[in-house]
Amino acid sequence: MTLTLIHTSDWHLGHELAGHPREAEHEAFLAWLLGQLDEQEADVLLVTGDIYDVANPPVSAMRRLYAFLAAASARRPGLLTVILGGNHDSAARINLPAPLLDEARVRFVGNLPRKVRPDGEGTMPDHAAMLIPLPGKTGEIAAWLAAVPFCRPGDLGAEPLQSLYAGVAAAGAERAGSLPLILSGHLHVAGGAVSELSERRIVVGGEEAQAASLFDPRAAYVALGHLHRAQDVAGPCPIRYAGSPFPLSATERDYAHSISVLRVSPGKFALGEVPIPRPVPFLAVPARGAAPLDAVVAELEALPADEGLPRERHPFLEVTVAVDGPEPHLQARVLAALDGKAVRLTRILRQVATAPDANEGPLAGADLGDLAPEAVFAALHGAKYGGNPPPDDLARAFAELLIEVNTLPAGEPA
Ligand SMILES: [Mn+2]
């Protein structure tokens, strides 16, 4: 009764970063994962949601998934692949090929299965339908998976998430008997780190985040998706986010991406991780923090020129410029410095030196009628640009505007 399960998540097939396609990276990851299925002697592959980046993914993304599933099945005939729906996925689209597939080899769980209530009044989550037997090395059932995908409010109805998980864990524990029970989910569990840009639609700050006490202590493992950093979550049982296969935004470039490998044998349970090779580097200029425009431009000009590397292998680049006033030519200078370089720009950040608190500024407590427009302009400029007054040409332009506004003929709209 031994079983090896590979847990991975948040592939976001079809993703683009600042308009740059990720197809070459997905291709490299899936080819590597195919090799890992053999190397780890995997019996189960579990993908915990956000298989696609958007609800209506491009044909190329769907073709890539189906080609991978066919290759995985051909390579390891005993393998069961389970794919859960995430918040980026369309449940209906994920479920679409299910009737064509051998349930013993590929299972899609796009949304929460529901059934008619015993009293015939409406429907309720079908806990039993979420339970999937997991084959071990010999083909016998070695564990059970309670496959809970991302739950939309409409999937849950009046039932809170807590009672859904309690119900499905109880049904799973009963069904599993002495065999291990694995739970899953695609949600934000408190204690997990959040990346700034990629997990959009998350409410950070507590509201949507769930406590780890959501999960039943009888679970041998809880396989989570949604957060892109691979990480353990403290709770009543082992809980882990597998994370995404590579950075989906600049904020994720320092993550150590991996797959989680779970090995279950009688009385033993081991959880390990295998780092995923990163096919495309992610650069930042400067490497940490921000630098003035001249220093940034010099560093960009020193980057290697394009030596015929295919564009989809060019490193991604994020640029952060320290500014203390308006820099009208900032973008043009950055783009000019990057001309002919083997990098793909994702974004240019402007970092302003910390502004003094507006409530403690020179205008604090002043009556609006007592203030000269020039003073308001100077104070706003200072608040926005690290306390610096507007440069002379800008102050002059503002004064000219002011004269123009004040000398408009009466009756014309200002
Ligand atoms: Mn997600």
Name the residue range of residue 340's domain. 281-352
324: CA distance to ligand 1 center in Å?
A: 37
Q: What is the pLDDT of residues 181-210, one digit of tens each?
A: 999 999 999 865 555 444 444 444 344 788
Q: What is the pLDDT of residues 281-320, one digit of tens each?
A: 999 999 999 999 999 999 999 998 878 889 999 999 999 9
Residues 307, 398: one domain?
A: no
Distance (Å, whole) CA 216 – CA 63: 37
Residues with CB under 5 A from ligand 1 (ion): 50, 86-87, 226
348: CA distance to ligand 1 center in Å?
A: 26
User: Which of helix, strand or coil describes residue 231?
Assistant: strand
A 10 A CB-CB count for 367 gives 7
Q: What is the pLDDT of residues 143-167, one digit of tens each?
A: 999 999 999 888 888 888 999 999 9
Residues 215, 125: one domain?
A: yes
Distance (Å, whole) CA 147 – CA 142: 16
39: CA distance to ligand 1 center in Å?
A: 28
Domain CATH for 345: 3.30.160.720
Domain CATH for 181: 3.60.21.10
263: CA distance to ligand 1 center in Å?
A: 26
302: CA distance to ligand 1 center in Å?
A: 38
169: CA distance to ligand 1 center in Å?
A: 22
308: CA distance to ligand 1 center in Å?
A: 36
- Is residue 332 scored above 60 in pLDDT? yes
Residues 175, 309: one domain?
A: no
Residues 225, 341: one domain?
A: no
Of 207, 240, 275, which residue constitutes the final position of a domain?
275
Residues 338, 370: one domain?
A: no
- The token pair that represents 293 in the structure block: 């425009």
Distance (Å, whole) CA 297 – CA 410: 49
User: Which of helix, strand or coil describes residue 186?
Assistant: strand
Residues 378, 260: one domain?
A: no
Q: Is the pTM of this model over 0.95?
A: no
Residues 323, 244: one domain?
A: no
Cα–Cα distance list, 241 to 67, 92, 290, 307 (Å)? 26, 24, 31, 38
209: CA distance to ligand 1 center in Å?
A: 13
Residues 175, 245: one domain?
A: yes
Of 336, 352, 368, which residue constitutes the final position of a domain?
352
Is the pLDDT higher at 94 or at 360? 94
Of 217, 245, 275, which residue constitutes the final position of a domain?
275
Q: What pLDDT, on the 0 to 100 scale, is given for residue 362?
A: 62
